[in-house]
Amino acid sequence: MLLLSADPQAATTSAVYEFSPKLAAAIRGQSPTPIYDPFNSGAGSVAPGGPMMGPTLEAPITSDPYQSFGMPSGQDPFMNGGDPAFGPGMYGQPTGPVFSGVNGPQPFRFGYIPKLEIGYIPQSPVDDFNSDVEMFELDSELRHNSPFTPGWVFSSAPQFDYRAWNFGGPLANTYRINLYRFGWDLEMLKVKSNGWTLGFDFNPSINTDTESNLTSNAWNFDARIAATYQVDPTLMVVLGVQYWDRVDDIIIPHAGVVYTPNDLWEFRLLFPKARISRFVGHFWGGHHWLYVSSEYNVESYQIDLTAQGAGPSNQVQYEDWRLALGLRSDHVSFDKFIEVAWDLNRDFEFQDTLPKFEAGNQVLIRGGIRF
């Protein structure tokens, strides 16, 4: 009874050195505390270098994007930004797992990448015809990127595009013109070596209203060759040329510079498509960039204009310039964009008989998603 009622005395121990929390975590092979990972969300996500986590920790948004993300200064959020506007070409940004080799991380995401874009142009006047036209556009592709030979990547993308042109006034007898494009984009890309990349692109397509038998006017054969050179971590130069097979044979430069002075700004000063982006933060489950862009666009289709006295196998070329303000977002598993553009210098040109005419400047509303 006396022994059981006595107060126990703990055995004394001595230690030469007490582990610090960081050293103890290193011995366990774990991070000392959960790491906020802006590129993974939801239960069970894994932060790089950290343990299995529950729902992603939300960091307060501040004026400093690094603090907002909970990441160290110098980590570029652009390096994980998807880019539905520019696609996965030589100067595209990584959009998922980045595969690296002796040359370090390369801007390619392997596997299938589906994409869908939709645009709408309200009614606008057609010069010299006392008429108007309303336009709807849909673009889609299923791209697949894969290793080809050491140092090369092969990209293949079946494409389907649709256009609906609704005419009024004197042109109402051709009220709705439905146009279809069936294309296959083939691209061979040399991964970066000594600062250089090289790419070859060939994009044949059939473009038709499906109202008559196909002729050579339905085929477009587009090609591009371009190289990039990484001058320093912030500046890349693009040098190339491309050919568009339309009513007119069009040869234009594919060139410019890509300048990323910091983690907030990106300048893609390229032709025929340019964009300036400003990183605005992490919210609504994604990383967001506000941008302004410009694009030179030319399309052509075989079209049946028998009712207008121009024959069943005529070819029409539509050309315009697009100046846009938009917001694009990266949500890890998908990225998206929405923009409002001013569509100007809109020309319609024909292979035979009919004269060239113009449509008035109008707003273009466009959005897209890529997985």
Q: Where in the chain does DSSP place strands (E)?
A: 100-101, 104-105, 111-126, 131-147, 152-167, 176-193, 196-208, 219-232, 235-245, 249-253, 255-259, 265-271, 273-283, 286-303, 314-330, 335-350, 357-359, 362-370
Q: What is the dihedral of CA 67, 70, 71, 73, to 10 degrees?
A: 10
Are 256 and 91 contacting, i.e. CB atoms less than 8 angstroms apart? no
Write out the two tokens for 307.
């009712």
Judged by DSSP in three states, 154 sits in strand
pTM of the model: 0.73
Q: From first to last of its 371 residues, what are the pLDDT tens digits of the chain?
A: 555 555 555 454 444 444 455 455 444 455 444 443 434 434 333 333 333 333 333 333 333 333 333 333 333 444 444 454 555 455 544 433 444 344 444 457 889 999 999 999 999 998 877 788 999 999 999 999 999 988 899 999 999 999 999 988 766 666 789 999 999 999 999 988 889 999 999 999 999 999 889 999 999 999 999 999 999 999 999 999 999 999 999 999 999 999 999 989 999 999 999 999 999 999 888 999 999 999 999 999 999 888 777 788 899 999 999 999 999 999 988 999 999 999 999 999 999 888 888 999 999 999 999 99
Q: What is the dihedral of CA 120, 123, 126, 130, to 10 degrees?
A: 160
75-370 CATH choice from 2.40.320, 2.40.128, 1.20.120, 2.60.40 = 2.40.128
Q: Where are the alpha helices (DSSP H) in 135-182?
A: none
Measured CA to CA, the distance from residue 46 to residue 53 in angstroms comes to: 6
What are the sequence ranges of the domains in the chain?
A: 20-58, 75-370
Number of Cα atoms under 13 Å in the Cβ half of residue 28:
14
- pLDDT at 355 (0 to 100): 86
- pLDDT at 109 (0 to 100): 81
Write out the two tokens for 368.
């897209």
